[in-house]
Structures are given as structure tokens and as C-alpha cells.
Amino acid sequence: MKDPHDIILRPVLTEKGYDGIADKRYIFQVAIDANKVEIKKALEKVFPGIKVAQVNTMRTLGKIKRQGAHSGRTAEVKKAYVKLTEDSKPIEFFEGMA
């Protein structure tokens, strides 16, 4: 199995992300090749004491950018929308942000 810290890259801290903290919903940026089962196992290993109920993922293609005659794309991103079970304790990293 891959290292959990290679799968979970960083939390996504946006207004939509802050709104979900009270309902135990969190958003993370994850590795492009990670699947839902790997994301669930990695989160439960990185944050002990939580139980993941549902994982939804979304891939976003990079935008096309131009600089003069040259064009290219920004990096592709994959996000995981994670919902914890009702009896799970919240993630300590997000405590006090909601």
C-alpha cells in the first residue's frame, strides 16, 4: 500500500469547505491516481479515531494558459469530498475553524 501522506496531499480551505465542517464534511486534495478505497483507508490512518462514511471524488483539468506564442496547462487536481459517520469524532485539525 502507498504511504497515506502520499495519497492525502492537503486540505482545501474554502468557504464551501468551512460550511461543511459543522456537518463533519471535509474536502482534501488527493493524488490523481488514488481511488476512493485508498482515500478512506489513508484518512482513517492519518487521523486516528475517525470513521469515514462516504467519499466522493472530482477531477479538474488544468486551465489553458498562454504567454505570448507559447501555451500550456496548469496542473490537474483531484479533490475528495469526505463525510464522516455520526458517531465519529471530528478531525482535530479543523477544530475551531467552523
* pLDDT bracket for residue 67 (50, 70, 90): very high
pLDDT computed for residue 96 by the predictor: 73
What sections of 22-59 are H helices per DSSP? 36-46
Given CA atoms 39, 41, 46, 47 in this order, what sign does their dihedral have?
positive
78 falls within a domain: yes
Q: Which domain holds residue 34?
A: 4-87
Given CA atoms 10, 17, 33, 46 in this order, what sign does their dihedral have?
positive
| pLDDT higher than 90, residue 94 | no
* CB burial of residue 62 (10 Å; 0-12, 13-18, 19+): exposed
pLDDT in tens, 6-36: 999 999 999 999 999 989 999 999 999 999 9
Number of domains in the chain: 1
CA dihedral 21, 24, 26, 30 (to 10 degrees): 160
93 falls within a domain: no
What are the beta bridge partners of residue 54? 83
Provide the CATH number for the domain around residue 78. Answer: 3.30.70.330
95 falls within a domain: no
Which pTM was predicted? Answer: 0.87
